[in-house]
């Protein structure tokens, strides 16, 4: 199966290895990630003002590029996913916004591209049974705490990935690769990443609350789907090692060393 792929800025710069893990794992699981040509930054955050069009044009163009190939669009960063998914929803439901956006396009875009986060791709397009079949290095009951953060699940009316209060998508994948998921109170709470420039101490306090909560429930590692969360948790609250989900998957599928070569 081929899908269009939007890696995002962080995974093409400071976190290149996480992008390599994503590609290698997809290959093992029978998915070809076709990187969109000439993609640009998603915009970083979804601006809710209806008259703010410029910051959403790059997301629309990525969506349109996938549509032209008749492919789903897969993202791997929770922030990119949030922006692209919300932009796609706005194109579907807000006629005035869509009209303004399409004035910049040679061909109108109607919001018909299916948008998947990589985690959704694993669950909905690959399936946990196939993941289990491909595991060569099972994590043998290791206690792993999934950290969802702010952007992966909310707003639920648009994202529709999982229950925003009691999600299970990452825990199901942790089980599929042999690990034991740790359920802890702060797995959906903000790590403070978006206030780190304004208030480093508050950001550190938020991060510490997350990692200390995971540690208190016996986690040996934390896994996240947001590069910013990973950076913030590692910098401010190193109580528990934090890995990106594509790295954890690569370890279980036996391609981590290949990706590092």
pLDDT tens string for the chain (261 positions)?
999 999 999 888 878 999 999 999 999 999 999 999 999 999 888 988 778 899 999 999 999 999 999 999 999 999 999 999 999 999 999 999 999 999 999 899 999 999 999 999 999 999 999 999 999 999 998 999 999 999 999 999 999 999 999 999 999 999 999 999 999 999 999 999 878 878 889 999 999 999 999 999 999 999 999 988 998 999 887 789 999 999 999 999 999 987 665
What is the domain class of 2-119 according to CATH? mainly alpha
**Which structure tokens are listed for 196?**
């780190």
Which of the 8 DSSP states describes residue 114?
-
The pLDDT, as a whole number, for residue 261 is 57
> pLDDT value at position 228?
87
Tokens linked to 70: 């008749």
Residues of the chain with CATH 3.40.50.11810: 135-260
Give the model's pLDDT for residue 196: 80
B/e letters for 39-70, b = 16+ CB within 10 Å, e = fewer, are: beebbeebbeeeeebebbebbbbbbbbbbeee
Cβ neighbours of 128 (radius 10 Å): 15
Taking the C-alpha atoms of residue 245 and residue 118, their distance in angstroms, rounded to an integer, is 10
pLDDT at 12: 87
* Range(s) of the chain covered by CATH 1.20.1050.140: 2-119
Q: From the CB of residue 199, how many other CB atoms can be counted at a distance below 10 Å?
A: 12
Report the pLDDT value the prediction gives residue 114, as an integer from 0 to 100.
98
Distance CA 189, CA 167 (A): 12
pLDDT of residue 193: 84
CATH class given for the domain over 135-260: alpha beta
d(CA 56, CA 15): 24
CB–CB of 36/6 below 8 Å? Answer: yes
What is the pLDDT at residue 259?
63
Q: What is the pLDDT of residue 237?
A: 72
């Amino acid at each position: 199966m081929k899908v269009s792929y939007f890696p995002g800025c962080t995974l093409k710069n400071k976190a290149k290895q996480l992008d390599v893990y994503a590609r290698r794992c997809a290959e093992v699981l029978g998915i070809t990630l076709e990187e969109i040509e000439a993609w640009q930054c998603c915009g970083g955050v979804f601006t809710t003002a209806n008259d703010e069009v410029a910051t959403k044009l790059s997301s629309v163009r990525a969506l349109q590029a996938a549509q032209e190939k008749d492919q789903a669009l897969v993202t791997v960063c929770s922030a990119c996913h949030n922006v692209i998914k919300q932009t796609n929803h706005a194109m579907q439901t807000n006629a005035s916004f869509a009209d303004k956006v399409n004035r910049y396009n040679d061909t109108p875009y109607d919001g018909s591209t299916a948008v998947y986060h990589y985690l959704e791709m694993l669950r909905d397009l690959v399936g946990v049974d196939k993941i289990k079949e491909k595991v060569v290095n099972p994590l043998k009951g290791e206690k792993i705490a999934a950290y969802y953060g702010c952007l992966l699940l909310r707003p639920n009316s648009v994202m529709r990935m999982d229950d925003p209060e009691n999600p299970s998508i990452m825990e199901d994948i942790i089980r599929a690769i042999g690990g034991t998921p740790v359920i802890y109170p702060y797995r959906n709470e903000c790590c403070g990443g978006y206030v780190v420039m304004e208030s480093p101490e508050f950001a550190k306090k938020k991060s510490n609350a997350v990692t200390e909560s995971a540690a208190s429930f016996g986690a040996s590692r934390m896994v996240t789907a947001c590069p910013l969360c990973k950076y913030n948790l590692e910098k401010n609250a190193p109580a528990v090692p934090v890995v990106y989900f594509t790295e954890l998957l690569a370890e279980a599928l036996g391609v981590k060393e290949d990706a590092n070569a």
